[in-house]
Amino acid sequence: MKLDVNVLRYLSKDDFRVLTAVEMGMRNHEIVPSELVERIACLKHGGTYKVLKNLLKYKLLHHDSSKYDGFRLTYLGYDFLAIKTLVNRGVFTGVGRQIGVGKESDIFEVAQEDGTILAMKLHRLGRTSFRAVKSKRDYLRHRSSFSWLYLSRLAALKEFAFMKALEEHDFPVPKAIDCNRHCVIMSLVQGYPMVQVKQLQNPETIFEKIIGIVVRLAEHGLIHCDFNEFNIMIDDEEKITMIDFPQMVSVSHRNAQMYFDRDIECIFKFFRKRFNMSFHEDKGESEETEVDENSRPSFFDITKDANALDKDLEASGFTRKEQTDLDKFIEGGVEKSEDSDEDEESDDEEQTCESNEEGNLNEIKSLQLQDKEQKSLDGVEAEVELDNTEN
Ligand code: ADP
Ligand code: MG
């Protein structure tokens, strides 16, 4: 998906108010009826429909009239809300080139006022696996909270919380700068993902270091769960940085040992293949570097502090319920759809969570906007509002 941030300049205060109104409506509606958008936005001089048309033009909203006339945010619309909020907070001033396309994320460079470049990760949960999950799992159908918007926000929140906690425990991770909605801002890591590296000066040292990280993580009560050559960055000085944390679990997870062994196996396998390292279990060639297979760490031999994770998460405001919701999706989402590499534009169009299928228009029409909701919209708007000087 193209992220044309220039559009930000053309959007008015009313545009953002209406966009935010759709976002609020999506808390309990898959498709937000136009009347509800109008009621939430409550524009002083009316004109919500004109604004909606403008937002459609820029593909920030998607119009859906299959069940009733309504709108939902596109990922782009959600991106803009997050970006505008972060710009208003002074976290960064401009968005640059795309530097990564993950399984379920897009990563861009962003620039601060003083020229410092940071990385912005926009979570896109459901991009590859959503339809497979949708067809197989029915919990999504009956839980309005399980929308891609909610799940992507949880993934960002969790990633941010973990990044902070890991940094505090001296793990080599990017520095967590800020987080809003589905967006995490972190320091830019120099170097490349290990998967791109063909040669290392000291493969054994790097290997030991990486295995050491997995073990130390477990000692701190954590398992990465996707610890592989795509999520380990290495720079020219062979300095390691680990990235990508939304799927991490506690060592008290029922499948903890399996996840731990899988992480370890990924590293063994990669070093065996890429750097020709052999382990005693292999009948390798004599000139290959040998590593004692007995040194393979065992999950049960590690002294683990399973509470460390819970404490860190509690402190970050990431609730247990949110964690459970996200875990459910991630575990369910391992059944990836085979057509995951298809055109993203159409993918986005199809990303509808049938979470509110039973919701009918009559019910919606009777819905009154509570005072509380109106106040909260005003609060969101104040945060989202761009400095006049930028327009
Ligand atoms: P996903 O969860 O979708 O796999 P990742 O966090 O692994 O997303 O990021 C995808 C890619 O983006 C990485 O492989 C890496 O190339 C790049 N990337 C991610 N975070 C950073 C960062 N902080 N600095 C530089 N590149 C990054
Ligand atoms: Mg990754």
pLDDT for residue 27: 86
> What does residue 105 show for φ and ψ, rounded to 5 degrees?
-165, 160
109 assigned to some structural domain:
yes
Distance CA 357, CA 55 (A): 25
Is the C-beta atom of 43 inside 6 A of ligand 1?
Answer: no
Average pLDDT, the chain: 79
Kindly compute the dihedral angle of the four CA atoms of residues 207, 209, 212, 213, in this order, to the nearest 10 degrees: -110
Minimal-distance CA residue to ligand 1 atom 25: 189
Which residue's CA is minimally distant from atom 16 of ligand 1? Answer: 100
CATH number at residue 287: 1.10.510.10
Span 48-72, average pLDDT: 93
DSSP 133-180: HHHH-SHHHH-TT-SHHHHHHHHHHHHHHHHHHHHHTT-S-PPEEEEE
Q: Are residues 171 and 266 in the same domain?
A: no
pLDDT tens track for 232-246: 999 999 999 999 999
The pLDDT score that the predictor gives to residue 103 is: 77
Contact 156, 179 (CB under 8 A): yes
Do 47 and 165 reside in the same domain of the chain?
yes
How does DSSP classify residue 335? Answer: S
**In which band, very low, low, confident or very high, does the pLDDT at 182 lie, cut at 50, 70 and 90?**
very high
11 and 119 housed in the same domain: yes
Residue 299, domain extent: 192-242+252-303
For residue 226, indicate whether it is catalytic: yes
Give the Å distance between the CA of 226 and the centre of ligand 2.
Answer: 8
Q: What pLDDT is stored for residue 101 in this prediction?
A: 86
**Interface TM-score (ipTM) > 0.90:** yes
**pLDDT-based confidence at residue 356 (cuts at 50, 70, 90):** very low
Burial 5-29 (b: 16+ CB within 10 A, else e): beebeebeebbbbbbbbbbbbbebb
Sign of CA dihedral 270, 272, 275, 277: positive
> Among residues of the chain, what percentage have pLDDT more than 90?
55
Q: 171 and 202 in one domain?
A: no
Residues 216 and 142 in one domain: no
Give CA separation, 180 vs 33, 86, 113, 134, 156, in Å.
Answer: 26, 7, 19, 26, 8
Please indicate, yes or no, whether residues 124 and 72 belong to a single structural domain of this protein: yes
Q: Say if residue 211 is exposed, middle or buried (CB neighbours under 10 Å; 0-12, 13-18, 19+).
A: buried
Q: Which class for 373: exposed (0-12), middle (13-18), buried (19 or more C-beta within 10 A)?
A: middle
**pLDDT one-digit tens code per residue, 256-309:** 999 999 999 999 999 999 999 887 655 555 555 666 666 789 999 999 887 776
- Looking at residue 293, what is its pLDDT? 64
Do the domain assignments include residue 178? yes
Give me the CATH number covering residue 71.
3.30.200.20
Q: Rounded to whole angstroms, how far apart are CA atoms 309 and 214?
A: 15
Q: How many independent structural domains does the chain possess?
A: 2
Q: Are residues 137 and 161 in the same domain?
A: yes
Residue from 75, 107, 159, 326 to probe ligand 1 pocket by mutation (most atoms less than 8 Å from CB): 107
141: Cβ contacts below 8 Å, ≥ 6 apart: 354, 355, 357
Closest-CA residue, ligand 1 atom 3, reads 102
Q: Is 29 helix (H, G, I), strand (E, B) or coil?
A: coil
Query: Packing angle between helix 13-25 and helix 371-384, nearest 10 degrees?
Result: 130
Q: In terms of domains, do 164 and 224 share one?
A: no
pLDDT at 89 over 90: yes
- Residue 361 pLDDT > 60: no
Choice among 15, 226, 263, 312 that is catalytic: 226
